[in-house]
Amino acid sequence: MYEKLAIELNEQNLQQVIEQSMQTPVVISFWAPSMPETAEVNNILEKIAAQYQGQLVLATLDCESQQMVAAQFGVRGLPTVALFKNGQPADGAAGPQTEESLRTMLSKHLPSQEELQLKQALALVDSQQYDQALPVLRELSAHFGQNSIISLAIAECLVETSQHDEAEALLETIPMQDQDAKYKSLIAKLELHRQASDSPEIRHLEEQLAAAPENTQIAYELAVQYSQVDRSQDALELLINILRKDMNFADGNAKKSMMDILSALGQGNAVASQYRRQLYSLLY
């Protein structure tokens, strides 16, 4: 069941509804209670309007009870559907209608489903629901191709979920003309992360590990340091290599550290998913 969305037109609200089309397209369905096929058109339009989530205003005009208003539109038969934009009739359809025919008519004047999805995904980013927004944005990126708005939104999700390397690579693809305040903010966050994650302690451990790559204790200490400065992928790579050699290293602390990082990254994180699969393959 769809919540009733239609405005019931009458002489009092007619002008206000037509004026509303200056901001949002208005579709008017002319119908009559004595004609069931016209009520069915109303039901289809309510379903479509619900999916457009505020991008389309639906109004219905009962031509039996509002004959004077109907006469102003010159309607000659029912059902009739008229689309108004900018206060003027922009399109319409007369006679029996299917959902497909109505969608085809309206799609010429309204955002696509992908454009609506993008609006919802960007709202998720604005409300800091990065794990929910990221998979949707990735899918939309494949549909829209090179689109800096989508790329910057993905980069923000990556930065905020500690996927810094991928974020940096993606930001390198942003054209000069699209390097706006959002872009500069993300670059600044990456630079702060880089500075924080390159401490003397970390550099010393990296040098020790480079000199003794088989030293598991140094690798574990470095992984712990990486995890503390949000270098999650670097930490996970070290830990999975440790666990491949010894699942019970450091009395199980290596396994616990890895599971803690995966848990902190969350279910929707691509890096976490990659290393979670590797860990499960070792466990089971």
What distance lies between CA 15 and its chain's CA centroid?
36
Q: Are 202 and 219 in contact (CB under 8 A)?
A: no
SS3 95: coil
Q: For 146-202, what is each residue's pLDDT tens digit?
A: 999 999 999 999 999 888 889 999 999 999 999 999 999 999 999 988 887 788 899
Closest CA to 106 of 88, 76, 81, 140: 81
In sequence order, the 6+-apart residues with CB closer than 8 A to the CB of 34 are 64
Predicted local distance difference test score (pLDDT) of residue 23 = 94
d(CA 27, CA 38): 14
CATH superfamily of this structure's domain 113-196: Tetratricopeptide repeat domain (1.25.40.10)
Q: For 29-84, what is each residue's pLDDT tens digit?
A: 999 999 999 999 999 999 999 988 888 999 999 999 999 999 999 988 999 999 99
The answer to whether the peptide bond before residue 111 is cis (omega within 30 degrees of 0) is no
pTM as predicted = 0.62
200-283 CATH fold: 1.25.40
Burial class of residue 133 (count of CB atoms within 10 Å of its CB; 0-12, 13-18, 19+): buried
Residue 2 has pLDDT above 60, yes or no: no
SS3 101: helix
| H or E element that contains 48 | helix 36-52
Sign of CA dihedral 208, 213, 218, 220: positive
Say yes or no: do domains 113-196 and 200-283 share a fold.
Answer: yes
d(CA 152, CA 209): 36
7-107: which CATH number, 3.30.1360.120, 1.10.3720.10, 3.40.50.300, 3.40.30.10?
Answer: 3.40.30.10
Domain ranges of the chain: 7-107, 113-196, 200-283
